[in-house]
Amino acid sequence: MSNKEKREKHPLIDTLVNIKGNPRIAIYTEPLWTIPFYLYTPFVAVYMSALLLTDRQIGLVASIFMFSRAIFALFSGAITDKLGRKLTTFIFDMLSWSIPCLLWAFSQNFWWFVIAAAFNGLMQITDNSWTCLLVEDAEKGSLVRIFSLLHMIAQLTVVFAPFAAILVNQLSIVPAMRIMFIFSFLSMTIKFFILYKCGDETEVGKTRLKETKDMSIWQIMSGYGGIFKKIFASQDMVLALILTTIFSIVWMISGSFFGLYVTGTLQIPEYFLAYFPILRSLVIAAFLYLIQPKLDRFGFRYPMLIGLVLFVACNLLLIFTPTGSLSMLFTIVFLDAIAYSFVIPRNDSLIQILIEPSERARIRGLMMVIVLGLSIPFGYFAGFLSDMNRRYPFMLIAAFLAFMFVIIAVNKKRLESINKRITEE
């Protein structure tokens, strides 16, 4: 067998080459969003600190972002059904990413970040519509590969990370970040136009457009009481709700305080924040390509349990990392990348499978209201903990991940049943 034939037989390569429709466009344009996003993300908290925001203010901005997301999540399902998946994605991508990038680029103080966080919260609407656009016409059996590809593409953007490190090292954090945010505005806006011009409305989206044609947003939302009951009447959707809530809190805390902890408490130079994602991304990309397809036969439960153990270990190790220990930090990042590869693609696809497809937009919208409502207090609370000791937020993360391990462990029969159902389909 030739090398070309071997590559074509690899499940991810086969999916990348042969996938059609909206998933193809979404995957192919993803670098236009992921490249700028992963350039600036490691430095955001340090950038805010350089503009004289306190840890509590940084945590408060994270909570405001979550509050904004919660408010707009309430409307996301109705708007997605009323305007259609494609148009909703375009409008709210522009409002939630293009505008905040400009606000961040020219930020002067705390209030600029508050306004940007409020706009950025609109991403909850496009998160709903974009996910519907991605998965509704895709085969359920291909979802893990689709999400694996999206995660792998995101990780491969690591090749651009040294540019961020060079900018920060040469210009200092504030001017470097302003340049990165302007670049982000341009790149992301181009992606949004391409997806809108080349994408198609999904079949479920077309049906919902007809059904809601003569209804107002408020009339569509009037059915939320029934949707709310449906969520809590389904053990599958309650499980999806719990998993989503835990990761929402974990990513918010980690994203807000990792950079501050590493540069402040551990006294690592700021420009090194660009190099940690390089190792992390290379490991994730290699894992997704080489190992992930071989794990399909194990279903959801065992890979997720292994990954969660590693996630907990990483956060505990981070707490005890000696000042200035780059070797320990790179070890933690390496283990975190493996944990991510075990857990996140399965978690993403599992949540989509657990949600009833006929009402996906409204269910996801209402679920996210609940998730974000539960997450809101933890941004400020983590900031409060960080003000006392910058190790405390990571102790909180470890506790949440340990709780998630228990949830996955006790749902053995449910996860095995879901895996069997997918295999049969």
Q: Which helix (H) or strand (E) holds 146?
A: helix 143-156
Residue 86 lies in a domain: yes
Q: Tell me how far apart the alpha carbons of residues 143 and 418 are, in angstroms, rounded to a whole number.
A: 13
Q: Outline where 199-300 has alpha helix (H).
A: 203-211, 217-221, 224-233, 235-260, 276-290, 292-295
Residue 111: CATH number of its domain: 1.20.1250.20
Q: Which helix (H) or strand (E) holds 121?
A: none
Phi and psi based region of residue 202 (left: phi greater than 0; alpha: psi -120 to 50; beta: remaining)? beta
Number of domains in the chain: 1
Residue 12 lies in a domain: no
379 vs 152, which has greater pLDDT? 379
Q: How far is CA 187 from the centre of its chain?
A: 19
364 φ, ψ to 5°? -60, -40
DSSP 288-307: HHHTHHHHGGGTTHHHHHHH
Residue 265 lies in a domain: yes
Give tens-digit pLDDT for 78-131. Answer: 899 999 999 999 999 999 999 999 999 999 999 999 999 999 999 989 988 998
379 φ, ψ to 5°? -65, -50
Q: Tell me how far apart the alpha carbons of residues 343 and 243 are, in angstroms, rounded to a whole number.
A: 11
Q: Tell me how far apart the alpha carbons of residues 380 and 367 are, in angstroms, rounded to a whole number.
A: 22
pLDDT confidence of residue 50: 94
Secondary structure letter of residue 135 according to DSSP: H
What is the torsion angle, in degrees rounded to the nearest 10, for the CA atoms of residue 151, residue 370, residue 55 and residue 37?
Answer: 20
pLDDT at 41 over 50: yes
pLDDT confidence of residue 424: 59
DSSP 361-413: HHHHHHHHHHHHHHHHHHHHHHHHHHHH-TTHHHHHHHHHHHHHHHHHHHTHH
Residue 256 lies in a domain: yes
Give tens-digit pLDDT for 246-286. Answer: 988 998 899 889 999 999 999 999 888 888 888 888 888 78
Secondary structure letter of residue 212 according to DSSP: T
Place of tokens 């835990």: 246
Residue 8 lies in a domain: no
Secondary structure letter of residue 10 according to DSSP: S
pLDDT confidence of residue 326: 93
pLDDT confidence of residue 98: 97
Q: How many Å is the maximal CA-CA distance in the chain?
A: 63
b (16+ CB within 10 A) / e for 342-361:
bbbbbbbbbbbbbbeeebbb
pLDDT confidence of residue 110: 96
287 vs 174, which has greater pLDDT? 174
pLDDT confidence of residue 366: 82
Residue 13 lies in a domain: no
Q: What is the mean pLDDT of residues 198-217?
A: 90
pLDDT confidence of residue 341: 86
pLDDT at 420 over 90: no
Q: What pTM was computed for the model? A: 0.76
70 φ, ψ to 5°? -65, -45
Q: Which residue from 337, 38, 309, 323 is spatially nearest to 159, judged by alpha carbons?
A: 38
| Cα→Cα distances 157→113, 152, 277, 348, Å | 26, 9, 10, 20
Structure tokens at 131: 């996910």
Domain that holds residue 99: 19-424
3-state helix, strand, coil in the chain (%, to 5): 85, 0, 15
Residue 3 lies in a domain: no
User: By percentage, how much of the chain surpasses pLDDT 90?
Assistant: 48
Residue 37 lies in a domain: yes
